[in-house]
Structure 1
């Protein structure tokens, strides 16, 4: 049996894409742990040695990083200090380290680098700790550097890292002071000489203390002082001088830096690892007003650690386990995301970094937990409802209980004597970190904000099983629901939306959000045992949705404004109908809207569709991704994902993954590093398990996630005329798999030999990886496998391939028991023992298959849609087989 030539060509193209893809965002997150510890690297030039930037992109954050090889050759892995001709040092050569690859995961950014004969990784780990709120609240990141000889020869290696005072203020002409604490760890600290509590200037905190720390040990030296002297000394000598500079001064006065040098000794085929901790601590973190009380709230980590130094010591001691937890979380998220596409996996990874970096976690009265989100990139507001609504899928997926911590500060304020409005407030403060409330919010956004709060409260309870908010604030929720009813979402003349669509009449997207909000109130009432209320709100929602469909549905799509037949919108507010299994809107309407999206995509701009026909050329990536979660058409869904991915990788515009930009040229409008990108998790939330039955009685996954809409289904999107193609493809693979064993062992160069690698069979008994329960991967060019180890057989120093490594030995670890490295994992631990080989495996699993955005010459819109489905079905079949047998988590350091 043979595939038709056209299909075979598409299939081979898809397979080649699996190994050639690479995600290179225009801005790579490196340290992303809070609104104020938020650093990115400009990769539009595809080089690692540039100065990091604050998320706003208009503030340089001084970070010098060097690696010195064989005493004379110097390479730069971060910063651009060696481009400064005033930096004097004796060396045979100075150059940037070669960036061979980049990996971005939900918790890590990994630079795969080459410094002459040394292969090394720099891994920036910003933890996400779903199971430990203390660790989640600790505003520190790890930086790991591990190195190995790439030519099997021994080489003398020293590495260096420093931070400057630029991390402390947007202004340069401000005085700072610093200190160094010695002990089991070495910790540099710096702060403004005159800090201003709970204030910020140009989005940077005026009360933060910067920390740069590492483990003490032989070969570790440290120094504080002027940048030229310290960097030049290291580059010439391979060490620094263990001295404190007492000359406190302005940030730009011979730029004070706080640095470390690590002598790795003779580096051979045994990897050597170094770890640093980078943090920005503030205490207090939020000033909260509720009623007549105003409290300065402490960071939640203070419930465990008496000082930042105590926390740093525990943080560094926990580094090996933190890497294991990060690897496990990354693997879970990416495995789920890869069931959709590699483009989607990239977006989820990037979105996670900036969503959770927007939050400060504080301890309230009786050790209660509150989370405060800054509206990064759009405004300075505290817990902005529209941004919470967009970001909420990320919190539901990671830990749905966290949704309560975000909503309760709003609810606590709105039930206080200070707040008298009958509808929800749009936020609890205009200027982070001061949560002073909004005592007189405009009523124009009352439908939008009240509906969003009701939807989020029910979603948090449904997926966590935690009814605390429903019971505690029921009367407030009821007041808001009655306010929506009195405002009548079917008649929204003069109302405003969170999008800024003002002055539009009868906005159907806003109307359906109001209707879903009322249905969410019915669910809340049912859950707390208020049966009469539940019936009242359920009947109201059902009545209204019929009227909404009658006025909002045109011949082939849903209108944006009911009075304008040519209007249209991305109906992202249908997402909670899908998420919460309400089924207010029939599948027939979803199908009609999907066909409309498919038609629109054929004439869409480079960076996607505008979110509304009344907002010409304005893309909102968060609403695009929520819309993708409403579609049952795989082609339309993947178009939305691809267009947002195109913006994330836009090499023409350096931007920290903005939420709002031009559909034509990608130019920034607003939303740099916005937490609203948490909307990317919308597709993943459709399969969350419900913990409360609600009115539907369903406690499994979303009841509307059958074969047609299930985001985890691999080939379920193929319909109609593609049934025959499915049979052909499946028959082809069954035929090849029957021949797999014979062709594999005969070593024949046949298609069956290639495709057999994607099968489910167990590894050969002699396979050294058998204890890991994975199948052997084809090695990159220039590598050979011998007794389970991979060796490099090409001395070409420019090669970017990676080596199989023996277990890492932690360099310069403290000798006390508290700082000993953990036992090395056994094979039965099923933990990767080679970070670099895992990177190679990961890189082989990329998929950048482009989707057609226009029909073939002479074809129709229907033809193009069908072709998109065919290509998608083939690609998804390959991804399913890869995810079953070939998926490997990102690098693991042992």
Structure 2
């Protein structure tokens, strides 16, 4: 039966200290309409967002776009108001995507004949294969390897019913461009972009063609550079009952660095809901503790007494890669707390790797104090009906598609504040060169998730006050340094950047802050993802900047990586057993490692960290001396429009990498070495200027006049006053860039209209004054405010339309903090 606490606890205390209340009075609201709102942000696996303007418009989603259902409903004097999430409409697969089961297809990789997308087309000459199609080395879900530039796919499906008058959806994943057809009718044309787990509702006209018997889904995909992937399928809505159709009225949404605030009108009461993720980079135990808070404050707007109930419901999807997996659920009490727990039945710990995956080992928890609390586990229709009718339902511990719910009952006389806690125990987080590592908060295995929740409950008041003070300080300080648009973007970027990492401790005791290359290829510890994200960590805690580099140093120093340049990655998340990316980035990654090692030394005021790794740094710098001035045709972090040689911006990185080594040598008292490499860097910089000069600006590549690119790598020369490149280079570039801006920002280079938003912040930091800096930042703010792509912030976006080109939820938005880093150094 429903469990109800028989113990009445004393009032915990006021929500915020007097000091914090003063902060609330001067609260600096974020006016940005976020592309997606961060809600529960712990790590790449437990990362939940609202993709809509109103918290109740859509189901809460994982950053990959898969539903993480979390419902919130308030009952006021018997009237229901849904304020969070949406009752999930179950989709029944008609022809499932390849998430769980490969499907049969006919395909070709050269242009087919006319009408190839029609059911009666003769495809006997086509190859047979199992989908999904993709580049196996970088896309682990791939069944049939596809490395050609283009692919055409036909999928015949047999329907057992006529689907007229049904709501039918096409789900697809594509990298890059895709065109999809249903029975010969075009239903999707993405243009030049990527996407994962996209669902579109088919029009009535298309649905009418889906008759009983044989039908055809057909698709074309264009892999422009690398990491091709293509998968599609069909599903229909299952008819079901809606229990919570009536919604509250949302009156505000406000994203701060560690908190997201919502306010609602719910008839005669006002409701404030706050999601808090205490990600303080100077407190590693708390930062890595996998517990977030959901605080709710209810106030009677009419000063009358009301009977109020607050209902929260979570789905096992939080602990599953696919909703089709079997799960187990459990409820238990421990001292003053009630725990609702769910996880997969299989518990294949660290059994999967890849990008478009959700964790399916370990356990999700929803926790509350027992005072005035009831809880239920069961089928959604049963527990929702029970809440509405104030009846009791069985608690069904065990297997099955059971939902978890908590209900708080309140007699509201004025204002009431309470909380629940949401968290995840992944047990083991990372496999590091064959050894399974626990999360940092429990590195020694001597704690437990139950203890972590109790600690979070006890510390709530102080943590909440600290979060509010931190958020206020960030908005205030960043506004002074870069303007309000800058502060608002950084507030949104903060949790996204941190939650794209996992903090663990290596067997040798080193801190490891391992990124997941979200929405790209799923690599773990990618150096050219570390490089743009590093300013956030350099600004708040250089020890975490070291943790971004330690595993790459170990990889070379252990002899596991034997090439004379830095590796690209150490595996595919969460398996860090060695590089899995298909190509090397020799100049890119070596320059990144040298520059960031020098940045750590500058922030700490000594080069002891560099001294530990001097041998491998020397190997890398000598590689750059030989190969960095005029790089050959190789991969780099900006090769979206194709690989090319003679990359002028990549050359800057190499030169500043060499200069960084010279500076480190000077700090270590190696004067001869310092002089040698600093002079080499200065000499190369002079050559660079002659090679790259193109009238009033500098070229994209040394061999192509009438081209240009953002020279964002120059920013380190300015930040640390290295004196390697002539100052007029940056001045000329900034003036030129201002003539090339589009409505939503500065293109990455002269080849395409898209850009990388993180690099814009680096380029803008080269500006001579705040006014010019803001000219580059305001268009990015406008993009994020207006974009039609409702996903966690994308860093690869178009500058001439409010659409993303690809990527979302990546750590590289930590690069937005480079302006603050520059201000901290000067």
TM-score tier after normalising by the smaller chain length: 0.7 to 0.9
Q: Which moved more, 1:228-237 or 1:256-265?
A: 228-237
1:613 aligned residue: 750
2:419 is the alignment partner of 1:280: no
Q: Given the alignment, which residue of 301, 307, 311 partners 1:160? A: 311
Q: Given the alignment, which residue of 303, 328, 331 partners 2:472? A: 331
2:90 is the alignment partner of 1:53: no
2:255 aligned residue: 104
Residues 1:118 and 1:440: Cα distance change in structure 2 (over 3 Å): closer
Higher helix share: 1
Quote the Cα distance in structure 2 between the aligned partners of 1:623 and 1:366. Answer: 35
Matches within 5 A, 1:853-892: none
Quote the Cα distance in structure 1 between the aligned partners of 2:311 and 2:576. Answer: 41
Quote the Cα distance in structure 2 between the aligned partners of 1:311 and 1:620. Answer: 38
Q: Is the 8 A contact 2:282 2:540 kept in 1?
A: no
Q: Is the 8 A contact 1:147 1:267 kept in 2?
A: no
2:360 aligned residue: 206
- Deviation track 1:347-406 (CA, whole Å, cap 9, x = no partner) reads 101111110001111122354422111111222101111111010011112212111111
1:393 aligned residue: 535
Quote the Cα distance in structure 2 between the aligned partners of 1:618 and 1:315. Answer: 43
Residues 1:632 and 1:155: Cα distance change in structure 2 (over 3 Å): same
Quote the Cα distance in structure 2 between the aligned partners of 1:111 and 1:76. Answer: 13
Matches within 5 A, 1:688-837: 688=824, 701-702=825-826
Structure 1 counterpart SS, 2:823: coil
1:498 aligned residue: 637
2:271 is the alignment partner of 1:129: no
1:855 aligned residue: none
How many residues are paired up?
A: 646
2:74 is the alignment partner of 1:67: yes
1:246 aligned residue: 397
1:79 aligned residue: 85
Matches within 5 A, 1:38-437: 38-44=47-53, 46=54, 48-57=56-65, 59-70=66-77, 72-81=78-87, 86-87=240-241, 95-183=246-334, 184-200=336-352, 202-217=356-371, 219-237=372-390, 243-249=394-400, 251=401, 256-268=402-414, 271-289=415-433, 294-303=434-443, 306-339=447-480, 340-365=482-507, 367-429=509-571, 431-437=572-578
Q: Is the 8 A contact 2:279 2:288 kept in 1?
A: no
Quote the Cα distance in structure 1 between the aligned partners of 2:523 and 2:245. Answer: 45
More RCO (CA 8 Å, sep 6+): 1
Structure 2 counterpart SS, 1:447: helix
Quote the Cα distance in structure 1 between the aligned partners of 2:546 and 2:379. Answer: 47
Q: Which moved more, 1:515-524 or 1:618-627?
A: 618-627
Quote the Cα distance in structure 2 between the aligned partners of 1:266 and 1:335. Answer: 35
- Deviation track 1:429-480 (CA, whole Å, cap 9, x = no partner) reads 1x1011111299855x211110000011111222134644312111110110
Quote the Cα distance in structure 2 between the aligned partners of 1:240 and 1:395. Answer: 50
1:753 aligned residue: none
User: Scaled by the length of structure 2, what TM-score is found?
Assistant: 0.75
2:764 aligned residue: 628
Quote the Cα distance in structure 2 between the aligned partners of 1:592 and 1:511. Answer: 18
Quote the Cα distance in structure 1 between the aligned partners of 2:798 and 2:392. Answer: 48
Residues 1:651 and 1:517: Cα distance change in structure 2 (over 3 Å): closer
Quote the Cα distance in structure 2 between the aligned partners of 1:645 and 1:565. Answer: 32
Structure 2 counterpart SS, 1:491: coil
1:777 aligned residue: none
Q: Given the alignment, which residue of 579, 587, 593 partners 1:438? A: 579
Residues 1:439 and 1:101: Cα distance change in structure 2 (over 3 Å): closer
- Deviation track 1:260-309 (CA, whole Å, cap 9, x = no partner) reads 101121232xx2111111112212111111xxxx3111111114752111
Q: Is the 8 A contact 2:321 2:360 kept in 1?
A: no
Q: Is the 8 A contact 1:470 1:524 kept in 2?
A: yes
Q: Given the alignment, which residue of 27, 33, 39 partners 1:30? A: 39
Give the unaligned 5+ runs of structure 2. Answer: 1-26, 91-238
Structure 2 counterpart SS, 1:639: helix
1:659 aligned residue: 795
2:664 aligned residue: 524
Q: Is the 8 A contact 1:419 1:439 kept in 2?
A: no
Higher strand share: 2
Q: 1:553 Cα deviation (Å)?
A: 2.5
Quote the Cα distance in structure 2 between the aligned partners of 1:83 and 1:205. Answer: 22
- Deviation track 1:620-669 (CA, whole Å, cap 9, x = no partner) reads 11111211122225444223212221222235222211111222323332
Q: 1:568 Cα deviation (Å)?
A: 0.8
Quote the Cα distance in structure 2 between the aligned partners of 1:41 and 1:283. Answer: 27
Residues 1:282 and 1:60: Cα distance change in structure 2 (over 3 Å): same
Residues 1:209 and 1:156: Cα distance change in structure 2 (over 3 Å): same
Q: Which moved more, 1:579-588 or 1:323-332?
A: 579-588
Q: 1:240 Cα deviation (Å)?
A: 5.8
